[in-house]
Chains A and B, each alone.
Chain A
Amino acid sequence: AVQLTQSPSSLSASVGDRVTITCRASQGINSALAWYQQKRGSPPNLLIYDASSLESGVPSRFSGSGSGTDFTLTISSLQPDDFATYYCQQFNSYPLTFGGGTKVEIK
């Protein structure tokens, strides 16, 4: 199974900061990666698919990049609504796998 390692596991940032989260796959997964945002008590919400495509309705401050084994989610200017946990998920092969999550907290 493909293992996804996210880093950091948590971070503290201020409103307006640029935030970068990484996801590393244990083997190449082409661009078959999604990023989700999850807030407490709610299901995950799709932000990015195909590693870099922005899901409809998601603010443009979110962006994704990468292919193969190394991927990045960037929030260009952190907003109050962005404090949440972020997960990557690979769709290259079964079993599908998620990263361990990155909790973004208020500094």
Chain B
Amino acid sequence: QEQLVESGGGVVQPGRSLRLSCAASGFPFSRFGLHWVRQTPGKGLEWVATISYDGGQKYYTDSVKGRFTISRDNSKNSLFLEMSSLRGDDTAIYFCAKEQGWLNGLYNYYLDVWGKGTTVTVSS
């Protein structure tokens, strides 16, 4: 069974750093791109970052560029999000999600497996 489990969330003061992890199981991890998506309590979803299957390509939403770094360790089936200079508006539930991958000869980027999320609260 394909599974993603996030960890590393918590309460952190503004300006500090936090590292989120996402442990994967049940699928060939190194063959799929991965994403971080966040959700403010009671509000909608916001895409945060994407990393390609081999880590060679990374994309970020504008509000986190220069502050957040997405990375992966394919030998440990793990995805990470290093967050620095945290602000109040970074407070959210952070989900990791996996791309669908190869389907009928085409690679699909849609997010078919999601973790349950880890909560980050930025507050003094």
Q: Which residue of B lies closest to A44 (CB)?
A: B114
Contact with B along A41-82 (1 / 0, CB 8 A): 011111001100001000000000000000000000000000
Contacts of A44 in B (CB 8 A): 37, 45, 95, 111, 114
Per DSSP, chain A at the interface is loop
> Is A95 a contact of B45 with CB atoms below 8 Å?
no
Contacts of A45 in B (CB 8 A): 114
B77 interface residue (CB < 8 Å to A) = no
Number of contact residues on B: which range applies? 20 to 34
B46 interface residue (CB < 8 Å to A) = yes
> Is B116 a contact of A91 with CB atoms below 8 Å?
no
In A1-41, the 8 Å CB interface with B consists of: 1, 34, 36, 38
> Is A34 a contact of B110 with CB atoms below 8 Å?
yes
Inter-chain CA distance A98–B47, complex, in Å, is 7
Inter-chain CA distance A99–B46, complex, in Å, is 9
Inter-chain CA distance A99–B108, complex, in Å, is 20
Contact with A along B58-72 (1 / 0, CB 8 A): 011110000000000
B26 interface residue (CB < 8 Å to A) = no
> Is B45 a contact of A91 with CB atoms below 8 Å?
no
Closest 4 pairs (CB-CB, A-B): A43-B114, A49-B110, A96-B47, A98-B45
